[in-house]
C-alpha cells in the first residue's frame, strides 16, 4: 500500500472506563491520556463501517487508523468514554451484550450533557463490585439502556454492534 495508507488495523479493546481497580478497567484519566497521545501522534479511531470495509474489502484507511472497541455495553461507555473519544476526534465501537441492556427508552443523562463530559458517573458505575448486606462481594454492573445505545449510535462517535 502507499505510504499514506494503513497496511494493518490495530485494535484497542476496553471494557470499563472508570475508577474501579480490576484487570479489565482503565481509569478515566488514563483513557483520556491514551486518546490524547493517539491524537498527538496522528492516530485516529475509526468507525466500524470503515474497519469492515478495510478488513473485508481492502478499502484504504488512512495511516494511523485504529479500531477502539468496548465490550459489553457498560453505562460508563456512554458517560465516560464517549465524551473523551469525541474530544480527541476518535470514533469507537461498543459490542453490546443484548441480554444485559437495561430498560429505558430515554438516556438517564441527556445526550448533550453526557457528550460534554462534565457529568460525574454515579458511584455504582465506578465501583460496581461491593459487599452486599451480608458482607459478600457481589457485582452489580450498570449497563446502557436502549435510549443511550440509540443516542450513541446516532452520534457518529460510537457505533453500536
3-state secondary structure of 126: helix
Tell me if 78 sits within 8 A of 14, measured CB to CB.
no
- Beta strands in 15-56, from DSSP E residues, in sequence order: 16-17, 25-26, 44-46
User: What pLDDT is stored for residue 97 in this prediction?
Assistant: 97
Tell me if 83 sits within 8 A of 116, measured CB to CB.
yes
What's the Cα-to-Cα distance from 130 to each of 14, 23, 79, 96, 124, rounded to whole Å?
21, 16, 21, 23, 9
pTM: 0.90
Strand partners, 85: none
Pairing of strands 129-131, 137-139: antiparallel
- Among 60, 64, 62, 61, smallest CA distance to 41 is for 64
User: What pLDDT is stored for residue 125 in this prediction?
Assistant: 81
User: What pLDDT is stored for residue 5 in this prediction?
Assistant: 80
What whole-number distance in Å separates Cα of residue 159 and Cα of residue 161?
7
Q: Is the dihedral of CA 103, 12, 92, 7 positive or negative?
A: negative
pLDDT profile of the chain (161 residues), mean per 10: 76 92 88 98 97 94 96 95 97 97 95 89 78 86 96 96 97
| Torsion angle, alpha carbons of 50, 54, 59, 63, to 10 | 80
User: What pLDDT is stored for residue 3 in this prediction?
Assistant: 64
User: What pLDDT is stored for residue 1 in this prediction?
Assistant: 42
What whole-number distance in Å separates Cα of residue 99 and Cα of residue 52?
25
Amino acid at each position: 500500500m502507499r505510504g499514506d495508507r494503513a497496511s494493518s488495523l490495530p485494535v484497542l479493546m476496553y471494557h470499563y472506563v472508570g475508577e474501579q481497580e480490576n484487570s479489565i478497567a482503565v481509569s478515566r484519566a488514563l483513557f483520556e491520556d491514551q486518546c490524547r497521545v493517539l491524537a498527538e501522534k496522528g492516530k485516529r479511531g475509526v468507525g466500524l463501517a470503515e474497519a469492515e470495509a478495510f478488513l473485508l474489502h481492502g478499502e484504504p484507511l488512512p495511516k494511523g487508523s485504529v479500531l477502539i472497541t468496548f465490550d459489553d455495553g457498560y453505562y460508563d461507555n456512554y458517560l465516560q468514554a464517549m465524551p473523551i473519544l469525541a474530544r480527541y476526534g476518535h470514533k469507537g465501537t461498543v459490542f453490546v451484550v443484548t441480554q444485559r441492556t437495561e430498560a429505558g427508552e430515554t438516556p438517564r443523562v441527556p445526550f448533550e450533557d453526557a457528550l460534554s463530559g462534565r457529568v460525574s458517573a454515579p458511584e455504582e458505575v465506578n465501583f460496581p463490585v461491593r459487599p452486599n448486606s451480608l458482607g459478600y462481594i457481589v457485582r452489580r454492573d450498570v449497563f446502557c439502556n436502549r435510549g443511550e445505545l440509540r443516542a450513541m449510535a446516532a452520534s457518529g462517535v460510537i457505533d453500536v454492534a
